[in-house]
Amino acid sequence: MCDSRTVYLLTHSQQIRDLFESVPALSEDLVLCEKEELGKLRQALEFKESAVVVMDLRPQAQQCQRIPCLELLSEFSESDWRFVGITDGIHSRSLAEPVFRLVDGFLDYTRDCCTPENLHKSLVKHLEGDSPVSRNRNGVRIGGENVFIETFTPTMVPVLKQLEKIARHNVTLMLIGETGSGKTTLANLMHRLSSRCDGVFHTVACGALPKELIESELFGHTRGAFTGADRSRIGRFEAANGGTLLLDEIDLLGPPEQAKLLRVIETGEFETVGSTNTQTTSARLIVASNVPLEDLVEQEKFRPDLYYRLNVLQFRLPPLRERKPDIIPLALRMIENLCQEYEISIDYIHQEFLDSLEGYGWPGNLRELKNQLRRAVLFSDNRELRIDHLTSQVRTGQVPPDDPDTNTQTRTDKMHVEQPSEAAVPADTDTNETLAVRIAQNEREILIQTLKANQNSRTDTAKALGISRVGLYKKLKKHQLMEEKTA
């Protein structure tokens, strides 16, 4: 083997045994293990400093061989041994989550185990840690069986552990992270882990509301309080009483709304628009921002007293490009959910597909990743996911330039629609046009098509493009589409 480590093979398949024995580099270091020999394997695991265990994880093999692979993986997950699983694909959807978390790599039965040469090449790649499916087993998961957040990124591990510890306490949380980095998902999980889990969880997207409606959205209004208020309506603070309220994009609140928010945070008291009756709320508050609020305080765009009142516990969610170890686990889970949603079966994922996912910068973070995987699943054929099922942007690793109109810390996921390739440019296109002109033309077309796809709903269009409604309005105005109907 590449480093002369003993290889223990756990399978009852004579075909796989013969194949491993036919690899010259394995001949002297290979040990075939039956179920009855697991005691010897455990002894070896306890005393050997370095070795490899290859286990047959195919569903049909698990049914007949009765080898407790999961038990072994869990028992020795902290050891220095390498664990490699043989599956029906690089990642079979039948694999349980604990297997993926504990196994260091996978061999595809139909492709890696077809010849001795392929087997040796693939096995060495996994053992050297170059495979995109090699995992750091020292991850952490918080949440329940169905709703949870998991990470294998070292910088994220202490963040999740701290969040799990304080989730049950009634304290204000501040989440800072780029758009699409998972702030809403994390806030929802904090609610589920708290003593308020039986109450409601409400979200207010501050950046998606016109300034004149934010106060009504937060505190409610009485009938006749303003033009168009034909009936009374309770606000989100009242509706979330006893539960949790997430104020997303709080950095976009104006000075009047910031002042009223400060009061309700300090005293729990507020008045609905059009009423002088004071009400109280016990809603737990979680605030989220795409940019650090301390920067806005320095720029005098955010009240210092409100910032210090909110900044009880602040957590920064790193962008997906800083969470490389999490990309493949997240992608696999999303693929499984998307397959269930669209009733599509995926049995094999090509390695080039996984390489592209890990190599791309993901300016749109989790939202962009899910959109790309949704597209790939819908365009899949032969029950496979190949690299050509991804957009050219992801295949080539090209990240779009920064956009000042999107309210993110650095880069944004403003476009999830693949831009036309060179072949799609009409023959009569003026090749002397500046890049800015051609980008503007593509952007305008994307806006028109996305509006069409969302029945001219600007809220849905902004969500589809991964930008705030404020950013969308600016772009519509820029391209003179404010009044244009795209039906």
Average pLDDT over residues 41-67: 72
| Structural tokens at position 330 | 């997240």
DSSP single-letter state for residue 321: G
Q: Average of pLDDT values for 148-174? A: 90
**Length, in residues, of the chain:** 487
Classified as helix, coil or strand, 3 is coil
352 — pLDDT class (breaks 50, 70, 90):
confident
Q: Name the pTM for this structure.
A: 0.65
Lowest mean pLDDT among 105-109, 355-359, 422-426, 478-482: 422-426
pLDDT at 172: 94
Within 10 angstroms of residue 411's Cβ, the number of other Cβ atoms is 21
Average model confidence (pLDDT) across the chain: 80
Distance CA 296, CA 90 (A): 46
User: How far is residue 456 from each of residues 89, 320, 413, 451, 461, measured CA to CA in Å?
Assistant: 42, 31, 20, 5, 7
Least confident of 11-15, 211-215, 392-396, 416-420: 416-420
Strands 348-349 and 384-385: parallel
Mean pLDDT of 393-400: 84
Taking residues 407-433, what's their average pLDDT? Answer: 38
Q: Which domains does the chain carry?
A: 6-127 (3.40.50.2300), 141-316 (3.40.50.300), 320-400 (1.10.8.60), 417-487 (1.10.10)
Spacing of C-alpha 102 from chain mean position:
20
Residue-level pLDDT at 192: 93
pLDDT beyond 80 at 69: no
Task: Identify the burial level of 100 via C-beta atoms within 10 angstroms of its C-beta, where 0-12 means exposed, 13-18 middle and 19 or more buried.
Answer: middle
First-to-last C-alpha distance (Å) of the chain: 64
Q: Which of 7-11, 97-101, 467-471 has the highest mean pLDDT?
A: 7-11
> Which of the four pLDDT bands, split at 50, 70 and 90, describes residue 466?
confident
The CA distance from 356 to 385, in Å, is 12
Residues 6+ apart with CB under 8 A from 187: 173, 175, 201, 203, 244, 246, 286, 288
